[in-house]
Amino acid sequence: MSAYDPSSREPDQLRDQLRRLLRHRAVIAAGLLLGAACGGAVSTLGGADYTATGEVVVQAISTAPFEAGGVSADKQISMGTERQVARSATVAGRAAGELGGGADPAQLQRGLRVSNPPDTHILEFEYTADSPQAAAERVNAFVSAYLDHREAAVVRRIDNTVAELNEELQPLIDQREELDEKIAGASTESARQTAESERANLAARIADLQGRVTGLKTLDTSPGDVVRRGEAPEVPSGPGTAVLVPVGAVAGLAGGLLAAWIRSLLDPRARSAGEVRTALRAPVLGILPPPRRDGAGILEVGPSHGGERAEEFRTIALRTLRHPRLAEPGGLLVVSAREHPGTLPAAVNLAAALAETGRDVLLVEADPRTPRLAGELPVRGAVREPVPGRWPDGARATVDAGTAGYLELIPGCRVPDAARALNSPGFTGLLSGAAERGEYVVAVTAPLLSHADGTAVAGLARGVLVVCDPDTTLRDDLDRVRDLVASVGGHVLGAVLYEGGRRRRRIPSPAAPTESAPSAEPGPPAGTGRSGADTGPGAGTGGGPGGTGEDTVALKRLEPEPPEARPDTAYGSYGRYRRTGDGTTPRP
């Protein structure tokens, strides 16, 4: 398991989700700042609220409140009912009357909150207003209104009951007076005794009714006691800036995370090595750092242009050689899904890294539309021109890769029919016969999804390396690349990623090839620091009879360096020799 394919050692789902969210740091930060700003705005524009509190202990109506026994207070009072009564419109109307000034009862009710602490007979009145004085006045008005309403209701019920009992008692008193007269005027003892018996029964009923009336009149009608009167609060009750800003920031952060999560779900780009690996179903063989800014050329594997990128190319080459499909010499296609400036550098440096290990390497620019490699690589001697009308037959050049050794190059050539050239027996034999010749053939073509060139080559190569930039490459494009390669019998070995996305410096495209052959006069020194570049007679071809009908690019010619000018290194001394029996035969 490699450093670029660590899925078996990670908590995949949680870590992948976190990485997806953190790709959209700008969205998360924007949500955080927006939430904090909204909290500050609410604190500034909403104004301050003040809350005053009053407490009342509710008493049960009883004839003997201090006597033990009887029904408990919990059974006589329903605190839920009392809480609803305190919030009723009737109590609000009484409070409006006490406040005066034409206050609207419905408007007053909006600022009131009544609660009952558990296991108590206490009602807490809380009133919120825009000023401390108004809050205190209104909460006290509601406390008084509630007590007055409760007492008035009890007095009214007592008066109604007493009135009903008096109405019932008055006939009995009149009847008793009649019996008294009847007893006084009784003519016989029997008649007198009967009248006295009736009067005794009537007197008992009268006494009972009079006792009930007396009990009602002596009933304690106190509705309750004020435990705490409302006082003007000194500080606002609502959350201030110190609370609203953090709360708004937390809410904004949650919104930013949600937006980032949605964006990560809807983002079509392969933003990580894991997503590239999943889309291609192949490992990521290397992640290349941003290119150097010292004006180095396209070839970086060598003593003149060594560095982090060169080492990464060497790592990719070694990992490619460890693949079972390339354990023996064969063809390798380097291609991208869409136009990518790193495809050619990846192919060139991978070929140089393979040559540095002592393999025989042939670099083929299978791009019959925009050939450019011959003009950018240090060519040793003159290039052999292709057989007229039969590219790539005969077209050869030797590239001096410094301490990496030498590698053969078949430069691209403009042809009128690209499909015919890429399916010709000569080109097919380059890749299919690589194993018989004992050399590795590294081919590079136009983007796979832009032209059919790469599809034709993918079926001939033993493996395909896909070059991409996760920040700009779509997952659907990688899926199509995998399907296209598989449909022609090819195999995706892995991917080579360029890190940095849009922020990295793009490799500039070369100028269009010139139509005229270059002069043989010596030019300025080449970028590799070797002898001056000049061109031989075979540097370019015209469009004469029997030719390809297309122009070729100007080629740089480099004279071989003296042995003392090229120090042997662990890679260079081995890469400059062919793989013969004793490893001592130098390359031409």
Give the phi and the psi of residue 533 in degrees, each rounded to 5: -90, 140
Asked whether the beta carbons of 428 and 460 are under 8 A apart, the reply is yes
Domain 273-507+532-560 CATH superfamily: P-loop containing nucleotide triphosphate hydrolases (3.40.50.300)
* Dihedral angle computed from the Cα positions of residues 127, 128, 132 and 134, in that order, rounded to the nearest 10 degrees: -70
Helices (H), 267-303: 273-280
Asked whether the beta carbons of 328 and 484 are under 8 A apart, the reply is no
- Write down the architecture of domain 50-66+73-228 according to CATH: 2-Layer Sandwich (3.30)
What are the distances in angstroms from CA 181 to CA 46, 119, 500?
83, 60, 123
Can you tell me whether residue 463 is helix, strand or coil?
strand
Instruction: Examine domains 50-66+73-228 and 273-507+532-560 and report if their fold is the same.
Output: no
List pLDDT tens digits, range 458-504: 988 999 999 999 888 898 999 999 999 999 999 999 999 987 544 44
- Rounded to whole angstroms, the Cα distance separating 381 from 397 reads 8
Q: In what order do the strands lie in the sheet with 492-498?
A: 284-288, 492-498, 463-468, 331-336, 440-445, 361-366, 406-410, 396-400, 379-384, 557-558
pLDDT at 72: 55
Asked whether the beta carbons of 446 and 340 are under 8 A apart, the reply is no
Q: What is the DSSP letter of 521?
A: S
What are the distances in angstroms from CA 406 to CA 194, 345, 366, 436, 487?
150, 17, 20, 20, 35
Can you tell me whether residue 331 is helix, strand or coil?
strand
- Rounded to whole angstroms, the Cα distance separating 24 from 49 reads 39
Can you tell me whether residue 37 is helix, strand or coil?
helix
Whether the predicted model's global pTM rises above the 0.75 cut: no
Q: Which amino acid is at 354?
A: L
Low-confidence ranges of the chain (pLDDT < 70): 1-13, 46-47, 61-75, 238, 240, 292-296, 303-306, 381-384, 387-389, 500-588
- Rounded to whole angstroms, the Cα distance separating 379 from 61 reads 114
pLDDT at 580: 37
Q: Which long-range contacts (CB under 8 A, 24 or more apart) does 387-391 make?
A: 388/546, 388/547, 388/548, 389/546, 389/547, 389/548, 389/549, 390/424, 390/426, 391/415, 391/421, 391/424, 391/426, 391/427, 391/548
Q: In what order do the strands lie in the sheet with 50-58?
A: 112-115, 122-129, 50-58, 224-228
Beta strand pairing call for 50-58 and 224-228: antiparallel
Asked whether the beta carbons of 376 and 382 are under 8 A apart, the reply is no
Let me know how long the chain is: 588
The domain locations on the chain are 22-47+239-266, 50-66+73-228, 273-507+532-560
pLDDT at 57: 92
